[in-house]
């Protein structure tokens, strides 16, 4: 993985150092803090949102088929 260098002032560094857990890298710490601020940043569902968007009409039909399948297995079938 490529590395990027960022500069911090002394105060920011001290704060990060205080927040860093044992065995946690500064990269992991920054990701953890960003996730606390905005959990959607590390959300696979949002990361992959849109993978079905190109075939929206087709997925409408597929959804209908899924619904029909769901509606064909009712709780009343269980004795």
Task: Give the 3-state secondary structure of residue 24.
Answer: coil
Q: Does 6 bind another protein (CB under 8 A)?
A: no
State how far the Cα of 46 lies from the Cα of 56, in Å rounded to an integer. 17
Q: Which stretch binds another protein (CB under 8 A): 1-9, 10-18, 21-29, 48-56?
A: 48-56
Q: Does 19 bind another protein (CB under 8 A)?
A: no
**Among residues 10 and 44, whose Cβ is nearest to another protein?**
44
Please say whether the beta carbons of 62 and 69 come within 8 A: no
Element (H, E) at 76: none
Number of residues engaging another protein in binding (CB under 8 A)? 34
Give the nearest distance from C-beta 67 to another protein in angstroms: 8
Residue found by looking up tokens 């769901």 in the block: 70
């Amino acid at each position: 993985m490529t590395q990027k260098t960022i500069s911090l002032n002394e105060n920011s560094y001290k704060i990060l150092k205080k927040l860093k857990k044992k065995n946690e890298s500064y990269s992991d710490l920054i990701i953890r803090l960003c996730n606390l601020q905005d959990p959607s940043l590390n959300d696979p569902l949002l990361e992959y949102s849109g993978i079905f968007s190109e075939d929206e009409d087709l997925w409408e039909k597929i959804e209908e088929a899924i619904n029909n399948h769901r509606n064909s297995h009712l709780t009343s079938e269980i004795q």
